[in-house]
Amino acid sequence: MTARNIDGNALAAKVREEIAQRAAELTARGVQPCLAVILVGEDPASAVYVRNKVSACEKAGFRSLKFTYAPDVDPQEVFDRIAELNADDTVHGILVQLPLPKQFDADKVLEAISPEKDVDGFHAENFGLLLQGRKSFYPCTPWGVMKMLDSENVELKGAEAVVIGRSNIVGKPMAVMLLSRGATVTVCHSQTKDLAFHTKRADIVVAAVGRAKFLKGDMIKPGAVVIDVGINRGEDGKLCGDVDFDSAREVASLITPVPGGVGPMTITMLLANTVESAQRVLDAK
Ligand SMILES: Nc1nc2c(c(=O)[nH]1)N[C@@H](CN(C=O)c1ccc(C(=O)N[C@@H](CCC(=O)O)C(=O)O)cc1)CN2
């Protein structure tokens, strides 16, 4: 079997069109969606992601604000900026690009963002709501994965799903989202004794560990759906995922490539959360 790719770029383009339409309607009613992005430090990948977020906002008809800080900035300056943006009624979404430099306590920074403007879905309040199956802002990457699975009509009810990775921003929320849709979910991580035992039983595998090409074809059940959240540099210097694409595609039925898979959906769902936040402001008027 050779797997079919789930094309993240194509799905992202379709969803972004719908978001742009919604943004135009909100703007016509006096609420133009606005995202504020905070970038601290000089990490080149973060700078690219932030640039892409600002450009995605422009294309969708959003207003965007960008604040950049030197790597050695006093964290208080960033907290002051967040407080100012929390109080600004014209701003609907605030995000702080991760990772942050060492002098920052990332949890404290994320908790400083008002939950009503936490369009990354990283605030503990939003995560708690997600756990309880209540309305919140969902973290963008796992939500993008759910959109990809739905776009292919992948049956989630009763499916055996294995999530590899237990980070707060991908692994844990991914497991909760799959669970809430009726999958039987196993979360594997660095202490898991026999990873292949779990992955070989899975109808759906989501790899989010940050280790280049580590999930091989012989660890996958024939016909499984394989979702690759990793973004790594391979030994050849090229961008690659956590999945060894060449061997995995010979076994899986559906697979996401890297690049062009989950990545483009992350920024798309950020736009979706921001437009939703603006909608809530309009509805409350
Ligand atoms: N505040 C946040 N920080 C970080 C997040 C996040 O969701 N919020 N996620 C990642 C980085 N990230 C967005 O910020 C992100 C990563 C990758 C992509 C993407 O489109 N990747 C492309 C390849 C891009 C390339 O050539 O390098 C792809 O996979 O096709 C978008 C967003 C960590 N920080």
Assess if residue 279 is contained within a domain.
no
| Same domain membership, residue 55 and residue 147 | no
pLDDT band of residue 107 (cuts 50, 70, 90) is: very high
Assess if residue 7 is contained within a domain.
no
The count of structural domains within the chain is 2
Q: Which residues pair with 219 in a beta bridge?
A: none
Closest residue CA from atom 22 of ligand 1: 263
Assess if residue 284 is contained within a domain.
no
Assess if residue 2 is contained within a domain.
no
CA distance 164 to 191: 11
Q: What percentage of the chain carries pLDDT values higher than 70?
A: 100
Other C-beta atoms lying within 10 Å of the C-beta of residue 164: 29
Taking residues 247-267, report their average pLDDT: 98
Q: How far is the CA of 283 from the centre of ligand 1 (A)?
A: 31
Phi first, then psi: give them for residue 233, nearest 5 degrees.
Answer: -105, 125
Q: Which domain holds residue 186?
A: 140-263
**pLDDT for res 162:** 98
Taking residues 43-69, report their average pLDDT: 97
ipTM (interface predicted TM):
0.96
**Least confident segment among 93-102, 105-114, 231-240:** 231-240
Taking residues 233-243, report their average pLDDT: 93
CATH number, domain containing residue 101: 3.40.50.10860
| Same domain membership, residue 171 and residue 101 | no
Q: What is the CA radius of gyration of the chain?
A: 19
Closest residue CA from atom 27 of ligand 1: 45
* Residue range 80-97, pLDDT digits in tens: 999 999 999 999 999 999
**pLDDT for res 181:** 97
**pLDDT for res 221:** 98
| Same domain membership, residue 255 and residue 148 | yes
**Angle of helix 8-28 relative to helix 262-284, nearest 10 degrees?**
20
Assess if residue 20 is contained within a domain.
no
Q: Is 267 annotated as a binding residue?
A: no
Q: Which residues pair with 243 in a beta bridge?
A: 215
Taking residues 263-283, report their average pLDDT: 97
Q: How far is the CA of 52 from the centre of ligand 1 (A)?
A: 9
**pLDDT for res 135:** 87
**Ranges assigned E (strand) in the chain:** 4-5, 34-40, 63-69, 93-96, 160-164, 184-188, 204-207, 225-228, 232-233, 239-240, 254-255
Please say if the pLDDT value at position 1 is more than 80: no
| Same domain membership, residue 101 and residue 213 | no
Taking residues 152-158, report their average pLDDT: 98
Edge-to-edge strand list for the sheet holding 93-96: 63-69, 34-40, 93-96
**pLDDT for res 234:** 87
**pLDDT for res 210:** 94
CATH number, domain containing residue 227: 3.40.50.720
Assess if residue 120 is contained within a domain.
no
Closest residue CA from atom 31 of ligand 1: 263
Q: Catalogue the active-site residues.
A: 53, 97, 120
User: What does pLDDT average to over the chain?
Assistant: 97
pLDDT band of residue 167 (cuts 50, 70, 90) is: very high
Taking residues 112-129, report their average pLDDT: 97
pTM attached to this predicted model: 0.97
Instruction: Give the pocket of ligand 1 (CB within 6 Å).
Output: 49, 95-98, 120, 140-141, 231, 239, 258-260, 263-264, 266-267
Assess if residue 14 is contained within a domain.
no
Terminal C-alpha separation, the chain: 54
